[in-house]
Structure 1
């Protein structure tokens, strides 16, 4: 027997929220990595509330919509921001600060996670490939910079992260603008 009743999903697309949360926080942190200013409360605040919190909310909303990729990506990268800020703040409470090798391992495992996500984008649009390709490269460069304590690698990683963040910003903008105008204004 067919059910003549169906429920239409009329909830908003959470993708732009998660992408903007990722994009803006990533750009700001990587301006630091490129050498322009130290880590400060602005980066930590963005990491907790927008990079962490907004992406976490977007991930739950993607889960509700049945989007496995979006859900896992936003929840995981939201958790990344929360763990990163915790790592910076924990020494204030007597927890040992990680050394370069520990941070290299931390960032390297996020590079592997990003690589798995990149492989999934190969069946998607160009902007997704560029986003996750640059993100994978960013994490591996940050891991290398921490393992070697090489400032030049860190600065190059910073510029890579700025590019990655702006790609995510573009994607979020394109989704919103294209939806609003009901046609492709910014191609994906």
Structure 2
């Protein structure tokens, strides 16, 4: 695991500021602003809107606005947050935001009428099975991210568990063409949204800039060296 040391003035070993502004992730030495809240908020609000459309909130059956959110917010903004996380040395955050930004970009392309992807499956009636295969890949990836999050924070582990369950139920729902299972998947989407908003807010509501700090669960630290292990 990565580690960060710092002097008495809070300056990192490589001259950057000691970063503990995002308690949901391990602490890292950085020179730029923390991209964590931006990436988490972009992911959370896009997941929230897609989940609302999935359960046909207010009897809205068309999800074109979800497409716009996927391309602009969940896709582009989250991908940018992932790129900005690389200079901080936070490999986990960079991987998380980049890959799930790509997920929302790909989802937007799938449902974009101009791509023709949905129409290409209508004649063969293979759309549900194809989407099941698509979600299977994301379920496997999210399972790996779930295990990789164990040394970060409890809230982050719960976030990936909720995402993993959402992808699993979405995968099963597509294979069986079951709307009820898809609604169960959307329910985990709402849980994921809450956890992502909580983690994102924990990076903004800090003791340095606010009156309180949101708890996210304990990180494992070496008490003698103040190093994340």
Length-normalised TM-score, structure 1: 0.90
Runs of 4+ in structure 1 deviating by more than 6 angstroms, as ranges, are none
Unaligned runs of 5+ in 2: 1-12, 17-29, 217-229
Give the structure 2 partner of residue 70 of structure 1: 93
1:50 matched residue in structure 2: 73
Identify which of 80, 87, 107 aligns with 2:135.
107
Specify which of 34, 38, 41 is matched with residue 20 of structure 1: 41
Query: Structure 2 residue aligned with 1:87, among 101, 110, 123?
Result: 110
- How big is the alpha-carbon RMSD for the aligned residues of Structure 1 and Structure 2? 1.9
- Give ranges in structure 1 of 5+ residues lacking alignment: none
Larger radius of gyration: 2
1:164 shift after superposition: 0.6
Contact in 2 for aligned 1:121/1:129 (Cα 8 Å):
yes
Q: Which has the higher helix share?
A: 1
Q: Which has the higher strand share?
A: 2
Instruction: Map 1:3-42 to 2 at 5 A.
Output: 6-8=14-16, 9-36=30-57, 37-42=60-65
C-alpha distance in 2 between matches for 1:107 and 1:121: 21
Task: State how far apart, in whole Å, the 1-side matches of 2:190 and 2:86 are.
Answer: 28
Change (3 A) 1:38 1:127: same
Q: Give the structure 2 partner of residue 119 of structure 1.
A: 147
- Give aligned pairs, total: 183
